[in-house]
Homo-oligomer: A and B are copies of this chain.
Amino acid sequence: MINFEALFRISYGLYIVSSGNKDRGNGFISNTVFQVSAEPIKFAAVCNKNNYTADFIKESGVFAVSVLHKNTSPEIFGRFGFKSGKDLDKLEGMKVIFGETGVPIVLNDCIAYIECRVVQTTDVGTHLIFIGELVQSEIINDSKEPITYLYYRQVKKGVAPKNAPTYIDKSKLESGKEGTSTKKYKCGACGYIYDESTEMIKFTDLPDDWVCPVCGSEKSEFFEIDN
């Protein structure tokens, strides 16, 4: 038997993984960045094949990882997590520096970053694991703690975008919840949908200071929609 809740006991951080060059780049919110070897130091970054940033990593052979802190603004999650670089230049207006390889590194709400040069790529089906050798790493702000995926889910009430490796299909969760009725609520500002069937917390039980994880609008901006 698969208990989907058990999968959420695996710990992750939250990062902006970026790639490209000085002329054009892109980035996305990732929870799957891990060190995989110590000598030399190599990191793995997992990326959905449909993710626009995957194309940049394949083309440039480099990626950067910006570690986000606990008070990262909803706008950053909205811009890098729920929008596509095919529709807008995600780096425009952001605080961006360029690494030793020329890769863009996003410094907004970032406490540390690492820069890697891809040395191998593993295809795991829907996702690619890019394995990169460390080029440089730096601390940007030592006064703030890194945000974890658990904190984002429990305190920020955030959800995983559909391209995330940890995304869970609504129908799978529903199979274990027969007889319960779930509702959907839409953000009047950005259109984001809070779907109780994938959240396991009823919308009405969310705290009053909960805000839209995409655009930061208040709970009162949401309205119920048909399932």
Contacts and interface: CB of A to CB of B under 8 A. Distances in A.
B67 A127 contact: no
Nearest to A34: B32
Interface stretch (A41-49, A76-84, A181-189): A41-49
Interface string A29-65: 0001111111111111010000000000000000001
Contacts of A44: 34, 44, 124, 129
Interface string A126-160: 11010100101111000000101110000000000
Interface string A81-117: 0000000000000000000000000000001111000
A164 interface: yes
Interface string A148-179: 11100000000000001111110000000000
A10 B67 contact: yes
A146 B37 contact: no
Contact of A124 (B13, B42, B124): B42
Tell me which of A124, A127, A146, A167 has the highest count of chain B C-beta atoms within 10 A of its own C-beta: A124
A4 interface: yes
A210 interface: no
A140 to B, nearest CB: 9
Contact of A129 (B36, B149, B168): B36
B38 A164 contact: yes
Contacts of A112: 3, 5-6, 9
A126 to B, nearest CB: 5
A103 to B, nearest CB: 15
A89 to B, nearest CB: 27
A7 B146 contact: no
Given A10-B35, A10-B146, A120-B124, 17 more contacts: A1-B136, A1-B137, A2-B136, A4-B137, A5-B112, A6-B67, A6-B112, A6-B138, A6-B139, A9-B67, A9-B111, A10-B65, A11-B11, A37-B165, A38-B126, A38-B127, A124-B131
Interface of A: 1-7, 9-13, 15, 32-44, 46, 65, 67, 111-114, 120, 122, 124-127, 129, 131, 134, 136-139, 146, 148-150, 164-169
